[in-house]
Amino acid sequence: MDPRIHILEANPPLRRFAAILRKECEHSLQRIKLLLKFKDVDIVLADDPRKVVKPLVIGGWTQNSHLVFVWLNSSHRYFANRIRTEIGRTLAHELHHVARWQLTGKYGRNLFEALVTEGLADHFVLQVFDGKPEPWDIVLSHGALKRFIIRARREFANRSYDHRAWFYGSQGRRIPKWTGYSLGFYVVARYLEQHPRETPARLVGASANKFFSAVK
């Protein structure tokens, strides 16, 4: 079954954009489905600016292997102009999570698996839509990447790792915001350099262990 798109239109500002949102979702899905296989997915679009990462106007979250939320900031002055560019990238990222989850049965049970999952998803965005990496993928300098890879390696197999600290930052642990996203993007980038015939779409179901060579 094709993904079902649900736009929560009770909020009047979002109601104005419902038609274009649906159109852009369907157009983006056509491109994504050429590269990924997934089934039985509900995609829920809701207006909630608090959950959208600045400076973007659209954000996403994959709750499980069959449910994706797309958060919108419809009150943003440039929302209408940026729907087309941001909705596709958001769906590509989240649906890569869905496809991987459906194939492997998990998002990631330890820190390294989570890094690989996020890194693959954002490289898939570039595979489908080109453009530049997301802001969270390049937040660390080369030196910082090296330091935090060494630090993260101690927790790679930890199933009780602090996801919020690694991906959203922790002052107490001195982990900058979005560190996990940048580390994951770096690990997958190195792997793709080492294996130029591979793509994020083809690697959607690959074991995280496959990527250990990229951090040695």
- Answer yes or no: is pLDDT of 82 > 90: yes
Strand 42-47 and strand 67-72: the pairing is parallel
Question: For residue 1, what pLDDT is reported?
Answer: 78
Is 67's pLDDT higher than 80? Answer: yes
- Say if residues 62 and 79 touch (Cβ distance below 8 Å): no
- Tokens matching residue 152: 């993260």
Q: Is the pLDDT of residue 198 over 90?
A: yes
The reported pLDDT for the residue numbered 54 is 84
Class of the CATH domain delimited by 4-104: alpha beta
Residue 19 structure tokens: 């038609």
Whole-number pLDDT of residue 189: 97
What's the mean pLDDT in 178-206? 97
Q: What was the pLDDT predicted at 216?
A: 72
Name the segment(s) of the chain with CATH classification 3.30.2010. Answer: 4-104
Banded model confidence at residue 110, pLDDT cuts 50, 70, 90: very high
Q: What is the mean pLDDT of residues 148-153?
A: 96
In whole angstroms, give the CA distance from residue 53 to residue 84: 17
How confident is the prediction for the chain on average, in pLDDT? 96
Asked if residues 48 and 72 have their Cβ atoms less than 8 Å apart, the reply is yes
Q: Rounded mean pLDDT of 8-12?
A: 89
Does pLDDT of 98 surpass 80?
yes
More confident residue, 169 or 214: 169
- The burial of 211, by beta-carbon neighbours within 10 Å (0-12 exposed, 13-18 middle, 19 or more buried), is given as buried
Which range, of 38-42, 61-65, 78-82, averages the lowest pLDDT? Answer: 78-82
Residue 147: predicted pLDDT: 96
- The confidence score (pLDDT) of residue 12 equals 87
Distance CA 84, CA 99 (A): 23
Residues for the chain: how many in total? Answer: 216
* Residue 187 confidence (pLDDT): 97
pLDDT at 139: 97
Q: What is the pLDDT of residue 11?
A: 85
Query: Can you give the pTM of this predicted structure?
Result: 0.96
